[in-house]
Structure 1
């Protein structure tokens, strides 16, 4: 194979059809990607993953193309040309978006002017051409940024392709004025183009699927595949004298963590807060300083994330799984994250925001308590309302619910969808040939 400047690691050949999964994220840290790759390998497919290196070890047997996330642009002339391309693309998708077709073309032009994304697409196609035994039958693009590379690969291989939309792109950062001025128009144009072209679109919850089904031109309705974990049963662990409240996930400004720390002085003295995850170091520093200023530094602990396979057992050592964020955009309103289901699999009582997707499951399975506001006093009221007996009852309910909310069940929709669009693609190719 030609030297792309990147590592390509071949795993054991699985035979059968081949799927390429593309994600511009640390691949081994991405739970949805890990589960998808596992499902297709178990179903007898060869699997190729293209993404960035993560902190967690890669699963054995991956065919893995390591993409480099550095901002590499080449010489001065190339940098100037790409900068001009991005500027012209921005003019089309933002300032001239009222002219039909220009916004979509401008968005794609802009993204192809991003040096790393441009390079990724070239490397992916070069690697596929150099490894004909791994020619894809199906390509899965994780979110719109990867779609240009996915489309090029699928067209070269006559493969079916789908988009796995983790987020509601049109409103993902609606709380950020700078994003509203520019980013939303880029996200909207990319969605309008690629969602209409894809053989299928998947997403994480019913609320986002409902929005996409109304707003987008689609070949078929969006398929919901929730971010539930692998079955990893945990034993019931009753509350002790100290009660640990756990948040695990990204540590960032929009996750409601500052409000949680501000509420901590109002919690009953047996409660403490553990924040486990990575993210912006400045945010973590502010949380520590805030806890110190409020006199509760001894009740707040921040830890780095654990490897993928240890997320659920590590969570089981806590008592309450916490996630309360604001309802300031459609993306936040319909949030149904990995951590919600990981808390359930870990057998925790839940204390989460009263937002539609999470609230429906909490009520259906009696998993804990809902918080109707991010105000620190509302958070404290919800936490203090959880007696040891109530926490233990919710823990036991979570253990029961975890038998249903498993990837082993959820994957059936993913595999069926892949087989369906692959059969449709083959049928279209056959009709073209015979015609």
Structure 2
């Protein structure tokens, strides 16, 4: 019996895209998976169409920028170099299901789907993906809104990362995405008790402007010698410029260490020896306000206590499961104050709670949403 042919589109480096890799791990249970994206063949895919790294996923040539500036959004569809490259490579091929990751590939997904259903996985609130960048806010945000308004009502299934962002899609575009959080796979790891007299902080992720990672460094300067901070940061598309700035900012503080980044699947075991996972991101835009990131769930699987700011979706998870401390605001002083409240016993209590919550807050639980969608769409 021929297995269903599933096309998974993500104009990202899929080999490093934790959410898409987890998605593929479920897709392969239901069919043969062809991926479209940057980089090489990702784990779990049977075939891969590599989009050249120099082909951007948005219209960035002079004509494309003009179309965006004039709000000629219908004309701007399928005009980005990366989209055109993928479209040419997919010519003549057919699939039983198309999965579109992020709004920027919705036009491509429907162009190649034919009669096949499209599952649109909206990782974030697409109209404000990068609104801290002026050019994005003026040129790209209206285009993302157009793509969502045009294509999401036509999608056979829509998912997103959290309840409040799902509400935004319903209120703005009239669709109700199902929630599939960015949870890491369950990791069978031991709980490592904190040592008396020291609290080892850790953060992992991408060094991207707008995440205000310097806040962690500034908070560290206000803390006593009990605290150390290790950073596992991946360079962003700026060629590592922001990461270099962070290193300069931390220079001279012997309790801050920059470690080599590790693969997404190795993060829980790498972080397991630490005490507290930290992430404070000010609500500079909607996605920051409602963030519920991979790293929160990585911290849980690593059996860490967690320190966050008053980010609503994260607060819900941390407080429901008793996982850690929430700062009063996003100033370095408030973040440092929340950490000063920690004792060895409190850290170990939070670690115990993370261990208890690890099954519930795992991809194995979240993936049931994907299986429900796939079972429905592939048996229609």
TM range (shorter): over 0.9
Match in the other structure for 1:22: 9
Quote how far apart the aligned CAs of 1:66 are: 2.0
User: Which aligned segments of 4 or more residues in structure 1 are displaced greater than 4 angstroms?
Assistant: 81-85
Aligned CA distance change for structure 1 residues 91 and 325 (closer, same or farther; 3 Å) = closer
2:245 counterpart residue number: 286
1:86 is the counterpart of 2:70: no
Which residue number corresponds to residue 22 of structure 2? Answer: 35
Aligned to 1:336: 292
Q: Which runs of 5+ in 1 are unaligned?
A: 1-13, 73-80, 94-105, 130-134, 427-435
Residues matched between the structures, number: 374
Instruction: Please point out which of 133, 148, 155 is paired with 1:198.
Output: 155
CA contact (8 A) 1:19 1:140 kept: yes
| 1:111 Cα deviation after fit | 4.3
TM-superposed CA distance for 1:85, in Å, is 4.2
Aligned to 1:386, what secondary structure does the other structure show? coil
Alignment of 1:208-357 (within 5 A): 208-218=165-175, 221-240=176-195, 241-280=197-236, 281-292=240-251, 295-296=252-253, 298-357=254-313
What's the Cα RMSD here?
2.1
Q: Spell out, residue by residue over 1:378-424, the C-alpha distance to the aligned partner (whole angstroms, 9 max, x if none).
A: 1111111111111111011001100211212211111212232344x
Q: CA deviation at 1:27?
A: 0.9
**Offset at residue 181 of structure 1 (A):** 2.2
Contact kept, 8 Å, 2:230 with 2:258, in 1: the verdict is yes
Per-residue CA deviations over 1:320-352 (Å, capped at 9, x if unaligned) read: 111101012221111001111111011000001
| SS of structure 1 residue aligned to 2:48 | strand
Pick one of 27, 32, 50 that aligns with 1:66.
50
Distance 1:87 1:406, change over 3 A: closer
Aligned residue number for residue 186 of structure 1: 143
Match of 1:144 in 2: 103
Instruction: Write 1 or 2 for the structure with the bigger share of helix.
Output: 1
Aligned residue number for residue 52 of structure 1: 38
* Alignment equivalent of 1:118, drawn from 84, 87, 96: 84
Contact 1:124 1:149 in 2 (8 A): no
**Rg larger in 1 or in 2?**
1
Residues 265-295 of structure 1 show CA distances to partners (whole Å, capped at 9, x for unaligned) of: 2112121111112124221222222222xx4
Equivalent position SS for 1:249: strand
Partner of 2:91, secondary structure, is helix
CA contact (8 A) 2:102 2:122 kept: yes
- Once residues 308 and 47 of structure 2 are traced to their aligned partners in structure 1, the CA distance between those partners, rounded to angstroms, is 38
**Contact 2:73/2:146, CA 8 A, preserved across alignment:** yes
Q: Give the whole-Å Cα distance in 2 for the aligned partners of 1:314 and 1:382.
A: 25
- Aligned residue in 2 for 1:379: 335
SS in 1 for 2:265: helix
Taking structure 1 as reference, are residues 84 and 325 closer, same or farther at Cα in structure 2, changes over 3 Å only?
closer
Is the partner of 1:248 in helix, strand or coil? strand
Contact persistence 2:35–2:45 (CA under 8 A):
no
